[in-house]
Amino acid sequence: MKDIRVRFAPSPTGPLHIGGARSALFNFLLARKYGGSVILRIEDTDLERSSRESEKDIMDSLRWLGLSWDEGPDIGGPYGPYRQMERLDIYKKYVEKLFEKGYAYHCYCTEEELEQQRQELLAKGEMPRYTGVCYGLSEEERRKREEEGRKPVVRFRVPQDRIIEINDLVRGKVSFESSGIGDFIIVKSDGVPTYNFAVVVDDHEMGITHVIRAEEHLSNTPRQVLLYEALGLTPPEFAHISLILGKDRSKMSKRHGATSINQYRREGYLPEAMVNFLALLGWSPEGEEEVFSVDQLIERFSMDRVAKSPAVFDLEKLRWLNGVYIRNSDLERIAGLALPYLQEAGYASENPGPEEWERIKNVVEAVREYLGALSEITEHVRIFFETQFDFEDEKAAAVLREEQVPAVMEALKSKLAGVDSLDKEGAKKLLKEVSKEVKLKGRKVFMPIRVALTGMTHGPELHDIIPLLGAEEVIRRVEASMAKVRE
RNA sequence: GGCCCGUUGGUCAAGUGGUUAAGACACCGGCCUUUCACGCCGGUAACAGGGGUUCGAAUCCCCUACGGGUCACCA
């Protein structure tokens, strides 16, 4: 079998979108699975909206996700250049070919004229499409229009009464009639090719074997197939994957929340969670397992397990999956990723020294099981950093009014007196001693301590909290809380 | 509107003519635990509707409904 070559071809008109990332992922998985190549091609022919900033953002996001490419604008490759605006001379040759074969012609219609034609067709109840009024214009007519200062576009002459059949890897056979397609523009009046044309030239020139892209391109495919035929070329395999929808089942957009990869990155989602989640959106593994590393995904991925139907983006499931990775990843790494959020909240210094770093790691370890995203950490670590706090609710305050509480607190304070450092094990032991001393156990002794120290009836393990606060602060909080409850 | 694609629990989804219609998230309940969470165990919940074909349809065909895509000098 010929080596697989896939491409991811974003237009740099904004940050990398969730859907674009998933297309890139599927291409990546297929290529890596079969030892093929991934080509990154920048489709920047929309001069108005394309920007180098977007291009950079897209590449950053792809790298962050771990979706590498083998050829691209940054690293070059044997089929370059990899930005369409740098390939204009290549397209020119193909346009010439089309002219020679009689498949291309100049069109001088203005926007107003086109709009008028459209209205007329609509009025007749016909489908609005370009009917080829400029086809077969004589030299003289053309010269006349040029003299008027009109800049022509190049249109492709669509053969009539053709049935175009596509064998889509995810949808099976799909057929279209060419009569539903008007003569479309392949070169704009400024000499820049349009998408449908450039994509054909580039996919061919770059030796692309499989085109995996979003479903919105399905109805463009017959145009491209016609172009391949006119040029005497063989089309690649196509696979059109379904769209990603928002909660209300319409196409994912800003109002559904974050749509770009970098937003999720900023909110503290881990790249492996994003990749894992995106893979599950439209593809399903064979077994019952759903948590997979990229390598496992590569091993298991296959196009025939890609779903046809669109999928709603389920943030809850992403949060769960992200939580799985937060809990299971190396603490050093998670703490490092959580640090910016702690710094922003004023809980960590700009450059933590070894001692502070140690404390931060312990804090992160104590609360990581609560997190769906790293940014949520600030809500859970307040108890370690805010020395002033109120009781969460009346229920919490009431705990401290129970009759055994004074004895518990006295025992705790006396055990703590003179202790200058204690670790988790020390704290466990100390709590046990307190329990023994007051001859009570369970929530009778531990809940009051928890409330006295944090103001809340829930939270991390007491033996994690106490070492982090230190004996002195524990005593201080106990006294402050007891004073408060006596008021 | 024409053309194209799609429709299994709230969500992601398995399923390719005969299954008690998987699994995951969410939800509910229980266990674990000094609390919450984590973890473990269990539960509620689905084949859009109507016609066919067939001994038998979630699976095949047709129609309807609904959702989406596309019909740009955007990709």
The integer distance in angstroms from the CA atom of A315 to the C1' atom of B7 is: 22
* Domain residue extents for chain A: 1-71+242-328, 87-241, 330-382, 387-486
Which positions ≥6 away from A100 have C-beta within 8 Å?
none
- Phi, psi (rounded to 5 degrees) for A452: -60, -35
Work out the pLDDT band at A91, boundaries 50, 70, 90.
Answer: very high
Write the pLDDT tens digit of every residue in A35-73.
999 999 999 999 999 999 999 999 999 999 999 999 999
Q: What is the arithmetic mean of pLDDT over A414-442?
A: 82
- Phi, psi (rounded to 5 degrees) for A170: -105, -25
The correct CATH number of A387-486 out of 3.40.50.720, 3.40.50.300, 1.10.10.350, 3.40.50.11610 is 1.10.10.350
Write the pLDDT tens digit of every residue in A454-467.
999 999 999 999 99
Residues A446 and A412: beta-carbon distance below 8 Å: no
* pTM of this structure: 0.94
Which positions ≥6 away from A286 have C-beta within 8 Å?
A300, A305
Whole-angstrom distance, CA of residue A24 vs CA of residue A18: 10
What are the angstrom distances between the C-alpha of A259 and each of A110, A161, A263, A398? Answer: 37, 41, 7, 45
What are the angstrom distances between the C-alpha of A211 and each of A179, A217, A303, A346, A356? Answer: 25, 11, 12, 48, 51
CA neighbours within 13 Å on the CB side: how many for A427?
A: 18
The integer distance in angstroms from the CA atom of A463 to the C1' atom of B60 is: 64
Query: Which nucleotide's C1' is closest to A248 (Cα)?
Result: B67
Work out the pLDDT band at A420, boundaries 50, 70, 90.
Answer: confident
Name the residue with higher pLDDT: A215 or A136.
Answer: A215
Residues A347 and A385: beta-carbon distance below 8 Å: yes
The integer distance in angstroms from the CA atom of A280 to the C1' atom of B21 is: 21
The integer distance in angstroms from the CA atom of A315 to the C1' atom of B53 is: 43
Please say whether the dihedral angle defined by the alpha carbons of residues A460, A469, A364 and A261, taken in this order, is positive or negative. positive
A1-71+242-328 topology per CATH:
Rossmann fold (3.40.50)
| Residue nearest B24 (alpha carbon to C1') | A290
Residues A81 and A43: beta-carbon distance below 8 Å: no
ipTM for the complex shown: 0.94
Looking at the domain covering A87-241, what would its CATH class be? alpha beta
Could you say which architecture CATH assigns to the domain A330-382? Orthogonal Bundle (1.10)
Whole-angstrom distance, CA of residue A39 vs CA of residue A6: 6
Q: Which residues of A are catalytic?
A: 254
Work out the pLDDT band at A322, boundaries 50, 70, 90.
Answer: very high
Residue A138, Cβ density class (10 Å: 0-12 exposed, 13-18 middle, ≥19 buried): exposed
| Residue (of A216, A104, A94, A220) closest to A166 by Cα position | A220
Q: What is the arithmetic mean of pLDDT over A280-292?
A: 93
The integer distance in angstroms from the CA atom of A25 to the C1' atom of B73 is: 32
Query: Which nucleotide's C1' is closest to A251 (Cα)?
Result: B68
Residues A134 and A155: beta-carbon distance below 8 Å: yes
Q: What pLDDT is stored for residue A287 in this prediction?
A: 86
| Residue nearest B35 (alpha carbon to C1') | A458
Query: Which nucleotide's C1' is closest to A118 (Cα)?
Result: B71
Nucleotides in chain B near protein beta carbons (<7 Å): 1-8, 10-16, 22-26, 34-39, 67-75
Whole-angstrom distance, CA of residue A401 vs CA of residue A318: 42
Write the pLDDT tens digit of every residue in A112-138.
878 777 777 766 666 667 777 788 888
The type of residue at A156 is F
Domains A1-71+242-328 and A87-241 share a fold: yes
Query: Which nucleotide's C1' is closest to A428 (Cα)?
Result: B34
Q: What pLDDT is stored for residue A1 in this prediction?
A: 54
Q: What pLDDT is stored for residue A125 in this prediction?
A: 62
